[in-house]
Amino acid sequence: MIRFDVHVHPGSKVARVGGLYSGALVVRVRERAVDGAANEAVREALAAAFGVSARHVECLRGRRHRHKHFSIEGDEATLSATLELLRSQIH
């Protein structure tokens, strides 16, 4: 399992995972922050980016904020390598 910070941009034109903002992984989702739609979209975007099922992705803190803390269950080495790759992307 890995844990990391995420900075969310709800209502973006393009859904995308990658880059850094104040040390947090940037996740852009099309959904607005209404009735948990953006949170669910972030969870699904992270699952797709890391190649895991959405049930392995959990928001630990920040459900009502742009800055969130997530955990993903799986092989730690693989997940850590994917996280570093995503963080290094520039969008």
Q: What is the pLDDT of residues 57-76, one digit of tens each?
A: 999 999 999 999 999 999 99
Of 70, 83, 23, nearest to 43 (Cα)? 70
The torsion angle over the Cα atoms of residues 10, 56, 77 and 30, rounded to 10 degrees, is -20
CA atoms within 13 A on the CB side of 78: 8
- Amino acid occupying residue 26: V
**What pLDDT, on a 0 to 100 scale, did the predictor assign at position 7?**
98
What CATH code would you report for 2-88?
3.30.1200.10
- Return the structure tokens found at 31: 């959904």
Given a cut of 70, the residues of the chain with pLDDT beneath it are 91
**What pLDDT, on a 0 to 100 scale, did the predictor assign at position 91?**
66
